[in-house]
């Protein structure tokens, strides 16, 4: 199209704080973002609504949703009937693999992103994994990302034909406060974003799950007012 020579990049978007920041970074890097949200039977379907609002607010022209029903796989508090933990002491948050871990989730999400990248002729995929996450989630570690890139190039027609796929995880190594500061500089409106594992019917955050605790602390440490809508008393 006339006036648009931008290269495309696929951005995995959940509508959360991290992936929304990554979307702003992909745009700042000069890419035309093709956003992919994965609906995987997560309890908090409010995420998808937020993802859609984020794409509208940020001028994304191509937003796609892939639905994957993981209930028959199970194994996570986010897809099965396991209670989401609340009010855990802060020093527990960064140790061990949380029960909200979804087995092989990032391998799955990146595989979906890879298929889409091949279809839209993008070679770059953005994913919002970060330092706080990868202390607990194995599939947030840089060595996983590198192994995925190797596999991706061998997995695809585009790879056979010479494309080398690159997975960018620009939040890797950043704290939540770093991410918020970077996003604010890029003009991200965090009031649209959603992080809570256990929101109420109106999509208000519980304020007490691990994800809420990390998010709240991030705003505090960044010195940025927290625009999140929390349930009363949280």
Q: Which residues are annotated as a binding site for ATP?
A: 13-23
**Angstrom distances, CA of residue 160 to CA of 114, 152, 153, 163, 164:** 14, 10, 7, 7, 9
Q: Is 90 in the site for its own copies (CB under 8 A)?
A: no
Pick the closer one to its own copies by CB: 153 or 228.
153
CB of 23 to its own copies, least distance (A): 18
Pick the closer one to its own copies by CB: 29 or 149.
149
Which is it for strands 124-126 and 32-39: parallel, antiparallel or unpaired? unpaired
Pick the closer one to its own copies by CB: 28 or 119.
119
Q: Is 82 in the site for its own copies (CB under 8 A)?
A: no
Residues 104-123 touching its own copies, rule: CB under 8 A, are 104-108, 111-112, 114-116, 118-119
Residues 35-64 touching its own copies, rule: CB under 8 A, are 64
3-state SS assignment for residue 198: coil
Residue 98 burial (10 A CB sphere; 0-12, 13-18, 19+)? buried
Maximum C-alpha span of the chain: 57
Spell 196-231 as b/e; 16+ CB within 10 A means b.
Answer: bbbbeeeebbbbbbbbbbbbbbbbeebeeebebbbe
Pick the closer one to its own copies by CB: 41 or 199.
41
Q: What track of x and - describes contact with its own copies for positions 154 through 193 (by CB under 8 A)?
A: xxxx-xx---------------------------------
The binding site for its own copies (CB under 8 A) comprises: 64-70, 72-75, 97, 101-108, 111-112, 114-116, 118-119, 138-139, 141, 143-144, 147-148, 150-152, 154-157, 159-160
């Amino acid at each position: 199209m006339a006036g648009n020579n931008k290269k495309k990049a696929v951005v995995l978007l959940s509508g959360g704080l991290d992936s929304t920041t990554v979307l702003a970074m992909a745009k700042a890097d000069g890419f035309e973002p093709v956003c992919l949200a994965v609906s995987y039977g997560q309890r908090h379907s409010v995420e998808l609504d937020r993802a859609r609002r984020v794409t509208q607010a940020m001028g994304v022209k191509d937003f796609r949703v892939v639905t994957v029903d993981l209930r028959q796989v199970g194994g996570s508090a986010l897809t099965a009937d396991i209670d989401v933990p609340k009010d855990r002491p802060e020093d527990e948050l960064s140790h061990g693999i949380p029960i909200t871990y979804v087995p092989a989730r990032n391998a799955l999400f990146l595989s979906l992103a890879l298929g889409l990248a091949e279809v839209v002729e993008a070679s770059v995929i953005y994913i919002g994994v970060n330092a706080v996450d990868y202390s607990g989630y194995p599939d947030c570690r840089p060595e996983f990302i590198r192994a995925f890139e190797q596999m991706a190039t061998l997995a695809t027609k585009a790879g056979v034909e010479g494309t080398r796929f690159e997975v960018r995880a620009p939040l890797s190594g950043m704290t939540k406060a770093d991410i918020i500061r970077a996003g604010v500089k890029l003009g991200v409106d965090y009031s649209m974003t959603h992080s809570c594992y256990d929101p109420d019917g109106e999509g208000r955050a519980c304020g007490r799950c691990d994800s809420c605790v990390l998010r709240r602390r991030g705003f505090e440490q960044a010195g940025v007012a927290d625009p999140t809508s929390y349930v009363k008393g949280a």
